[in-house]
Structure 1
Amino acid sequence: MAQHPLQVLFIDDDRILNMIHKAMLNKINFPSKVTFFESAEEALAYLADNKDDTSDYLIMLDINMPTMDGWEFLDELGSKWAHLTSFVVMVTSSIDQGDITKSKDYPQVIQFIHKPFKYDHLANLKNLPQLKPYFSS
């Protein structure tokens, strides 16, 4: 079992997809606290407001967002929030092979998923070696 609770942060500027993802997680009684953000800046503000929280984070991150994109978020996460235990899953509509390659430059990125996010993706997340301890009873 993991030492700290796992919080899930969904960061995607698509409000409708966020509602769909929320419904999916509710339907399967996902065992972690899940918070949705429509911008990377909102998620960074949340991390700042909760800096004393002992949670670890699973961050579901879109790449293409206005103002601050997923890459800029990852750069900020790595520079200001490197002390956090965080695992990032890129959930994106990008079909650019360069994005998949670039994601490998970030040690926090553990998976790259093409939208739409599906129930199978949730099941697979629980089986990733990095996340398995959080979902073991």
Structure 2
Amino acid sequence: MTTELILVDDDKILLIVLEKMIRTVRKDLQISSFISGKQALDYLSENPGSKESASILIDINLRDMNAWEFIDKLETAKEACPKIILMTSSVSSVNSERAKKHPAVTGFFEKPITFENVHQIFQMLD
């Protein structure tokens, strides 16, 4: 069971909205938010226990790296890899097809994220 959700998106307002939506559904969950992939990777490196109990909800297109690069860096560390759910505002089917085939990816959602999506995310993670 996920005890921590790591949110990664370079849109600060979206992070605030997502956190409020998630708190409405799961008050007991620890939420850590980051505006860059590097910040999230640094956090995971400094908190290795998070890799086993956390799940990550990450935007595919960040300013500093994309979600695929983020996943590659996690896998290169060769430690426990958290469950990863991707989100995007892109309408391209390339990312959704790639997400379906990637073993580290648990789910894929198009923005905007709705309350229904939040419930679906937790069904995937629990």
Question: Do these two structures clear the TM 0.5 threshold for a shared fold by scoring above it?
Answer: yes
Moved more, 37-46 or 104-113: 104-113
Of 77, 84, 87, the residue aligned with 1:88 is: 84
Query: Which deviates more from structure 2 when the two are superposed, residues 105-114 or residues 11-20?
Result: 105-114
Q: Within the alignment, does 1:69 sit opposite 2:76 as a pair?
A: no
Instruction: Summarize deviations over 1:57-95 as a string: whole Å, max 9, x none.
Output: 210010111121111101111111x42241111111111
Q: Output the aligned Cα RMSD.
A: 1.8
Aligned counterparts of 2:82 and 2:112: Cα–Cα separation in 1: 22
> What is the distance in 2 between the residues matched to 1:92 and 1:30?
25
Query: Equivalent residue of 1:117, what SS?
Result: coil
Q: Given residue 20 of structure 2, which amino acid in structure 1 is its aligned partner?
A: A
Aligned residue pair count: 126
- Matched with 1:103 is 99
Identity of aligned residues (%): 26
1:58 counterpart letter in structure 2: S
Which structure has the highest helix share of the two? 2
Q: Is the 8 A contact 1:56 1:85 kept in 2?
A: no
Instruction: Give TM-score, length-normalised by structure 2.
Output: 0.88
Q: Which of 2, 21, 24 is 1:24 aligned to?
A: 21
Shift in alpha-carbon separation, 1:8–1:121, aligned structure 2, 3 A: same
- Runs of 4+ in structure 1 over 3 Å off: 52-55
Structure 2 unmatched ranges of 5 or more: none
1:126 shift after superposition: 2.6
The whole-number CA distance in structure 2 between the counterparts of 1:109 and 1:93 is: 17
2:51 touches 2:82 (CA, 8 Å); kept in 1? no
Bigger radius of gyration among the two: 1
The answer (yes or no) to whether the contact 1:56–1:84 under 8 Å persists in 2 is no
> What is the alpha-carbon distance in structure 2 between the residues aligned to residue 22 and residue 52 of structure 1?
22
